Structure 1
Amino acid sequence: MLRIIFIVIGVIAFIQSAPPFESEIRAFERADSLTPPPARPILFVGSSSIRFWSSLTADFPDKPVLNRGFGGSQLSDVIRYADRIIVRYQPKQIVLYAGENDIATGKQTGHQTYERFVTLFRYVRKRLPGVPFVYIAIKPSPSRWHYAAEIGKANRLIEQFLRQQRRVQFVDIRPVMLQPNGRPIGSLFRADSLHMNASGYRLWAQAIRPVLR
């Protein structure tokens, strides 16, 4: 009985001391040990908009896609786990969606979010030189419309930065997600007005398909 108590205490201590999303990253590693991922995959990584893309394989049936999105993550989290969720897969191409949660904390400006992106990009480019990199613009979520100005700033700065890089793509999904009046199309989102439904992902697939290798 005493041994069980010590084990429970140890588990609780680990959970409390572990960095954010450690359990999600370990789940990826367990999944890889049970079912090896594709060799040199097209790696989709980032926050919940990637995580909830359940039709990813069906949307790109001729591509070796691998989903490593973890919901709620910020660019800082992707940076923290870059070696374990990006570099280790030696991908043939990287597709990233992240940054929306950074701004939605209310603590990160568009410029600070851009700086986090640059840190991640430079780290990955150093570890995986020459690997094509795709960034999906931060989407116009109805529930986060009050952050539109900072989101727009982050998108502009990231797009400008990527124009100076090689083997990169900035996929601007915003035009197909906005009404003529410039407001988000609500029917592309789930009831929470944040996460996309199947209609939203169909538009994403159409926009991203042309840039996949």
Structure 2
Amino acid sequence: MDVFERLYDYQVDRVKQIIEDAAKAQPQGTVFFGDSLIQSFDLQKYFPQQSFYNCGVNGATSEQLLLLHDDAIGRYHPKQVVLLIGTNDLGHTDESRLMDGHHQFDMLDVVYQVFQLIEIMNLKYGIEHVYIISPLPIDERKKKTDIRNNARLRLLGKEFSNFVNEFDNVSYIDVFDDFLDEGQLKKEVSIDGLHINEKGYDILAEKVKAALNI
């Protein structure tokens, strides 16, 4: 099946742009791969001297990242990958995953898909290092769904942090508590209860810089 058939219409142009940008990318750089939190990350602003490439796709799930690895990683020939994913896996409403009106959801499916993605990065592309950023909290008063809440997002992050020990070249960047205030996403960094503003990216950039020793 064509990859584009597995994307939402609003994602297709973004993926085409990622493919186009790959032709201008320098090998041995760093690819940022993930959902809208990555796509909106202004890498040029925070890392102007680095060969960093933004391959974030708005609305992406871990399943979609698995489909896009050839275009978003393989074409770039990166040395490192920074990955942020998971929120949309917990946030989408898919009628095919409903039974008796309730979501049938297994968080381990998400964990396994990310695990598969890292194995592909290592075996197929020889990535030197992968950095997994923890899921960020949400404001449950605005963005909570049947299966997406801060307890599950924290648990998903814990599952990610547990499996990084299976790899010699994977590090976990835990930012969950940096964005949390009284159990919710901090109001001062939030746009809509899910996405973050410039203040939020200031925090995220500092955590990434520390992890990458920049």
TM-score, normalized by length of structure 2?
Answer: 0.82
**Are positions 1:52 and 2:52 aligned together?**
no
Among 137, 140, 146, which residue is 1:140 paired with? 137
Q: 1:6 maps to what in 2?
A: none
Q: How many residues align?
A: 193
Structure-to-structure mapping, 1:10-89, within 5 angstroms: 18-20=5-7, 21-33=11-23, 36-54=24-42, 56-89=43-76
3-state SS of the aligned residue for 2:166? coil
Structure with greater strand share of residues? 2
- Is contact 1:43-1:91 (8 Å) kept? yes
| d(CA) in 2 for partners of 1:113, 1:155 | 11
Q: Measure the CA separation in 2 of the matches of 1:119 and 1:163.
A: 15
Does the CA-based 8 Å contact 1:51-1:68 persist in structure 2?
A: yes
Q: Which runs of 5+ in 2 are unaligned?
A: 98-104
8 Å contact kept, 1:38–1:66? no
Aligned twin of 1:168: 170
2:170 maps to amino acid: V
Find the residue that maps to 1:81 and give its secondary structure. Answer: helix
Q: What is residue 194 of structure 1 aligned with on the other side?
A: 194
Aligned to 2:209: 209
Give 1:205's aligned amino acid.
A
Give the partner amino acid of 2:115: V
Distance of 1:153 and 1:113 partners within structure 2? 12
Percentage of matched positions with identical amino acids: 20
Following the alignment from structure 1 to structure 2, what is the Cα–Cα distance between the partners of residues 163 and 212? 18
Matches of 2:131 and 2:162 in 1, distance apart?
14
Q: Closer, same or farther in 2 for the Cα pair 1:100/1:30, shift >3 Å? A: same
Relative to structure 2, which stretch is displaced further, 120-129 or 89-98? 120-129
> How far apart, in 1, do the equivalents of 2:188 and 2:64 lie?
30
Report the counterpart of residue 8 of structure 1 in structure 2: none
Q: Tell me the alpha carbon deviations over residues 150-209 of structure 1, each in whole angstroms, 9 at most, x when there is no partner.
A: 222211111000023112110011121112x3332111011x221110000000011110
CA contact under 8 A between 1:111 and 1:153: conserved in structure 2? no
Structure 1, unaligned runs of 5 or more: 1-13
Secondary structure of the residue that 1:133 maps to in structure 2? strand
In the alignment, the residues of structure 2 paired with residue 183 and residue 81 of structure 1 have an alpha-carbon distance, to the nearest angstrom, of 31
Candidates 116, 123, 127, aligned match of 1:126: 123
Separation in 1, partners of 2:90, 2:117: 16
RMSD: 2.0
TM superposition shift of 1:130: 4.7
1:114 aligned residue: 111
Inter-partner Cα distance in structure 2 for 1:44 and 1:130: 13
Query: Contact 1:109 / 1:150 at 8 angstroms: preserved in 2?
Result: no
> Hey, what's the Cα distance between the residues in 2 that align with 1:38 and 1:83?
16
